[in-house]
C-alpha cells in the first residue's frame, strides 16, 4: 500500500507544470525600457514597440490601449488603479498570439494588378474527402477549403449513370459521386466567408453538348449576377480588386463528348516519392495511407498536359440571353499544339491558362525556365499533382512559385510538409488567397531578360531566428500523450523552404522532462531570394524507442515576418491552430 502511495506522489510531482520565467532577453528589454524600474509606463512601452518590434508608427494612444487590454485580460480589473506593466505583464504580452503575432492579418498588397500578377490559393480535385481512388466525393472538403481562403476550386464533371444529369467525381476510379448542383450551391454559400476576392472554378469537363447546356443553366441560375463572363475574349486579366465577390469559370472551350477510355490501372511499376532530404522524414501520426501506400504508376502519370484544353472559339457567336456554356468561360484553358516550347508561346492581344503536371513543369523548368517566367507574366500557369499521388500527397510548391506559376494546385485533403508550406505562403496578405508575386518575377530588362530561377545569387539579406521557449502543451494534450510517466522531452526544428540555395533545416537541443521547454538558441539563415522563402518551424518530442512524437508546426512567409520578440502559434498536422501551444521567438533581419 505504502509503495503505491509513493508512486502516485512521484507521478503527480513529475507532471507538475511550473510557469517558466521570462527569458534573459525579455528581462533585459524590460529593464532597459522601464529604465530599471519595477513598472513600465505606456510611453516606455511605446518606445519598446518602435525600437525593438519595428513598429515605428506606434502612438502613445496605441501603447495605452494595449496596456489597458493586457491588464484587463491578466487581472480582470474593471477599474484600473495602475496604468503600467510589471515584468510578468510584459512577458504575458510578448507571449500572447492575440496581442503579438509574428505576421499581420490585414490585406497589404496592391490588389489592382491583373490576376496573372498573383499567386492564387489553388485546390486540386477539391471535392475528394480522402485518397484519389476510392474516397467519397462531397461538398464538405470544398466548404473547408473556401473557409481556409482557397480561391480556386476544381470540379471534374461527368454524366450520371442515366446520362440525364451531371455528377462530380474523379473519373475512372471508385470514388462515389456527388451532384454538381450541390457543389455549386455550397460554393455560392461559402465563397466569400474568408475573403472577398474572386473564386475561380476550374471545370474538368467530360460532358455531352446537351449536358454542357444543362451545366450552363445550373451555373447561371445558381450564381446569377455573381458570375463574371466578359463579352469578348480577354486581352488582359482583370484585377482581384475589380473581381471582388465574383465567380469565374475556367475550362477548355466545348468539344464533342468522347467516350472515356476504360481505366488502365494495371501497370505494376512502383514509384518512390522520397521526402528524405533537408526536410527530414514526414512526422509520425500521419494517416497510414499517406505514409505506407505504394504509389502505383498508371497511364495518367505520363501526361505532360492537363486534359483541360482545346481550340479557341469565337465569343461573338454566343447568344446573349441566356449565356451558352462556352460564353461562361472567362479564363480559357488552351491545350498546346506541339511540345512544351510551343505551349509557352505568348500570343499578343490574348491571355489563357495552361496546365502542366508537376513532372511536365520540372521538364519545362529544366529546358525553358525563363520562357516559363515570361509566359506567367501575362498568362496563367496551373501546376497539378502527378497521377501517381493516389494517397492525395503533394509535391514541393517552390518550383512552381519560382517560375511564376499562379495556380500551384494542391490536394487540400492530404497532409504533410508540402501542404504546410502551402498554408504558410497563403498566410501572406491577410490570408485573402491572393499573394502579389515579387517584382523580380514581373520585371523584364532591355533585352527581354527575366528572372532566371537557375542563377546562382549572393545572399540578399540574413534572417536571425532565436527560439526562446514554448508553452501550452499541458493545456492542449493529455498528460500521458507524449510519455506515460514523465513530462515530454521537446526539441524544435527551424529552417527555410525556398530556392535550393536557401533550403536548410536546423535543430535545437532536446529539453528533458518539461512542459515549458526553454531552449534559448539562435540560428542564422542567409537568404539569396528572400521573396520565395518560407520559415518552417516544428516541435517534436524525442522518443528513444520509437519515432519521435509530433508536437506542432507552422510555416510563415518571410516577406511578412515582423521583427522583434513574437509569439508564434503552432498548428496540428492538418494545419488547424492549437488553442494554447505557442513558441516565444525573436526575428531579426541583418
Q: Do residues 405 and 517 both lie within one domain?
A: no
Q: Do residues 499 and 410 both lie within one domain?
A: no
| pLDDT above 80 (res 306) | no
* Domain end call among 61, 94, 127: 94
Percent of residues, the chain, with pLDDT higher than 90:
75
Q: Do residues 170 and 233 both lie within one domain?
A: yes
| pLDDT above 90 (res 75) | no
Percent of residues, the chain, with pLDDT higher than 70:
84
Q: Do residues 550 and 486 both lie within one domain?
A: yes
* Domain end call among 60, 94, 128: 94
* Domain end call among 94, 129, 153: 94
Q: Do residues 90 and 120 both lie within one domain?
A: no
The mean per-residue pLDDT over the stretch 319-326 comes to 70
| Catalytic hit among 91, 109, 170, 423 | 170
For residue 290, what pLDDT is reported?
A: 38
Task: For residue 122, give the nearest of 102, 146, 140, 98 by alpha carbon.
Answer: 146
What's 575's domain CATH number?
A: 2.60.40.150
Q: Do residues 157 and 74 both lie within one domain?
A: no
Confirm whether 57 is domain-assigned: yes
> Cell numbers 510548391 label which residue?
397
Q: Do residues 234 and 303 both lie within one domain?
A: yes
Q: Do residues 150 and 60 both lie within one domain?
A: no
| pLDDT above 80 (res 467) | yes
Would you put residue 127 in left (φ > 0), alpha (ψ -120 to 50) or beta? Answer: alpha
For residue 80, what pLDDT is reported?
A: 63
The whole-angstrom separation of Cα 491 and Cα 512 is 9
For residue 294, what pLDDT is reported?
A: 33
What's 244's domain CATH number?
A: 3.20.20.190
For residue 158, what pLDDT is reported?
A: 97
Domain count within the chain: 3
| Catalytic hit among 124, 332, 423, 540 | 124
The whole-angstrom separation of Cα 445 and Cα 346 is 17
| pLDDT above 90 (res 278) | no
- pTM for this prediction: 0.88
> What is the maximum span of the chain, computed from C-alpha positions, in angstroms?
92
Confirm whether 32 is domain-assigned: yes
Q: Do residues 87 and 19 both lie within one domain?
A: yes
Confirm whether 229 is domain-assigned: yes
Lowest mean pLDDT among 86-90, 305-309, 410-414: 305-309
Q: Do residues 124 and 195 both lie within one domain?
A: yes
For residue 18, what pLDDT is reported?
A: 67
The mean per-residue pLDDT over the stretch 163-190 comes to 96
Q: What is the pLDDT of residues 10-61, one digit of tens each?
A: 444 455 666 778 999 999 999 999 999 999 999 999 999 999 999 999 999 9
Q: What is the pLDDT of residues 394-408, one digit of tens each?
A: 999 999 999 999 999
Q: Do residues 132 and 235 both lie within one domain?
A: yes
Confirm whether 453 is domain-assigned: no
Give the number of other Cβ atoms within 10 Å of residue 395's Cβ: 22
For residue 254, what pLDDT is reported?
A: 79
The DSSP-derived string for 202-259 is EEEE---HHHHHHHHHHHHHHHGGGEE--SS--SSPPPTTTTTT-EEEEEPPP----P
Cα angle for residues 169, 171, 176 (degrees, 5° grid): 40
Residues of the domain holding 29? 15-94
Confirm whether 454 is domain-assigned: no
Catalytic, 447? Answer no
Confirm whether 360 is domain-assigned: no
| pLDDT above 50 (res 275) | no
Q: Do residues 77 and 120 both lie within one domain?
A: no
Confirm whether 374 is domain-assigned: no
Confirm whether 398 is domain-assigned: yes
Q: What is the pLDDT of residues 327-373, one digit of tens each?
A: 999 999 976 677 888 999 998 999 999 999 999 999 999 999 999 99
For residue 309, what pLDDT is reported?
A: 39
Residues 505 and 497: beta-carbon distance below 8 Å: no
> Cell numbers 540578399 label which residue?
460
Q: What is the mean pLDDT of the chain?
A: 87
Amino acid at each position: 500500500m505504502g509503495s503505491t502511495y509513493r508512486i502516485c506522489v512521484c507521478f503527480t510531482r513529475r507532471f507538475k507544470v511550473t510557469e517558466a520565467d521570462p527569458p534573459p532577453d525579455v528581462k533585459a528589454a524590460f529593464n532597459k525600457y522601464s529604465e530599471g524600474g519595477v513598472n513600465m509606463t505606456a510611453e516606455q512601452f511605446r518606445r519598446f514597440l518602435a525600437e525593438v518590434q519595428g513598429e515605428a508608427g506606434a502612438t502613445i494612444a496605441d501603447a495605452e490601449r494595449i496596456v489597458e487590454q493586457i491588464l484587463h485580460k491578466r487581472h480582470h480589473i474593471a477599474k484600473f488603479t495602475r496604468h503600467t506593466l510589471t515584468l510578468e505583464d510584459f512577458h504575458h504580452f510578448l507571449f500572447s498570439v492575440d496581442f503579438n503575432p509574428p505576421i499581420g492579418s490585414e490585406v497589404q498588397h496592391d490588389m489592382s494588378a491583373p490576376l496573372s500578377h498573383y499567386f492564387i490559393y489553388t485546390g486540386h480535385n477539391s471535392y475528394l474527402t480522402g485518397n484519389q481512388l476510392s474516397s467519397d466525393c462531397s461538398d464538405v472538403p470544398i466548404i473547408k477549403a473556401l473557409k481556409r481562403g482557397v480561391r480556386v476550386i476544381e470540379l471534374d464533371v461527368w454524366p450520371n449513370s442515366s446520362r440525364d444529369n451531371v455528377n462530380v467525381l474523379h473519373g475512372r476510379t471508385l470514388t462515389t459521386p456527388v451532384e454538381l448542383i450541390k457543389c455549386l450551391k455550397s460554393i455560392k454559400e461559402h465563397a466569400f466567408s474568408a475573403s472577398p476576392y474572386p473564386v475561380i472554378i476550374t471545370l474538368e469537363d467530360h460532358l455531352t453538348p446537351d449536358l454542357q447546356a444543362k451545366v450552363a443553366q445550373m451555373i447561371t441560375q445558381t450564381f446569377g449576377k455573381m458570375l463574371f463572363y466578359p463579352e469578348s475574349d480577354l486581352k488582359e486579366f482583370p484585377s482581384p480588386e475589380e473581381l471582388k465577390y465574383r465567380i469565374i469559370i475556367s475550362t477548355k472551350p466545348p468539344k464533342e463528348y468522347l467516350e472515356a477510355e476504360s481505366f488502365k490501372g494495371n501497370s505494376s511499376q512502383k514509384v518512390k516519392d522520397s521526402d528524405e532530404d533537408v526536410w527530414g522524414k514526414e512526422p509520425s501520426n500521419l494517416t497510414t495511407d499517406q505514409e505506407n501506400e505504394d504509389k502505383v504508376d498508371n497511364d495518367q502519370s505520363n501526361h505532360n498536359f492537363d486534359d483541360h484544353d482545346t481550340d479557341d472559339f469565337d465569343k461573338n457567336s454566343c447568344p446573349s440571353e441566356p449565356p451558352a456554356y462556352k460564353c461562361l468561360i472567362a479564363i480559357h484553358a488552351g491545350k498546346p499544339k506541339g511540345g512544351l516550347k510551343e505551349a509557352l508561346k505568348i500570343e499578343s492581344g490574348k491571355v489563357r491558362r495552361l496546365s502542366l503536371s508537376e513532372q511536365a513543369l520540372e521538364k519545362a523548368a529544366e529546358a525553358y525556365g525563363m520562357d516559363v517566367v515570361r509566359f506567367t507574366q501575362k498568362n496563367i500557369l496551373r501546376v497539378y499533382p502527378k497521377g501517381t499521388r493516389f494517397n492525395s500527397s503533394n509535391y514541393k510548391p517552390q518550383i512552381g512559385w519560382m517560375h511564376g506559376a499562379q495556380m500551384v494546385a494542391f490536394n487540400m485533403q492530404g497532409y504533410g510538409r508540402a501542404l504546410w508550406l502551402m498554408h504558410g505562403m497563403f498566410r501572406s496578405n491577410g490570408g485573402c488567397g491572393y499573394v502579389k508575386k515579387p517584382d523580380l518575377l514581373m520585371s523584364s530588362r532591355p533585352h527581354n531578360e527575366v528572372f532566371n530561377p537557375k542563377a546562382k545569387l549572393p545572399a540578399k539579406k540574413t534572417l536571425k531566428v532565436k527560439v526562446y521557449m514554448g508553452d501550452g502543451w499541458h493545456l492542449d494534450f493529455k498528460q500521458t500523450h507524449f510519455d506515460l510517466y514523465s513530462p515530454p522531452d521537446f526539441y524544435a526544428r527551424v529552417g527555410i523552404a525556398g530556392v535550393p540555395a536557401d533550403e536548410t533545416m536546423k535543430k535545437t537541443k532536446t529539453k528533458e522532462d518539461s512542459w515549458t521547454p526553454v531552449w534559448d538558441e539562435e540560428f542564422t539563415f542567409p537568404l539569396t531570394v528572400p521573396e520565395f522563402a518560407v520559415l518552417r518551424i516544428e516541435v517534436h518530442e524525442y522518443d528513444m524507442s520509437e519515432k519521435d512524437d509530433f508536437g506542432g508546426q507552422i510555416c510563415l512567409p518571410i516577406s511578412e515576418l515582423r521583427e522583434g520578440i513574437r509569439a508564434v502559434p503552432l498548428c496540428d498536422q492538418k494545419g488547424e491552430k492549437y488553442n494554447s501551444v505557442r513558441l516565444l521567438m525573436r526575428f531579426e533581419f541583418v
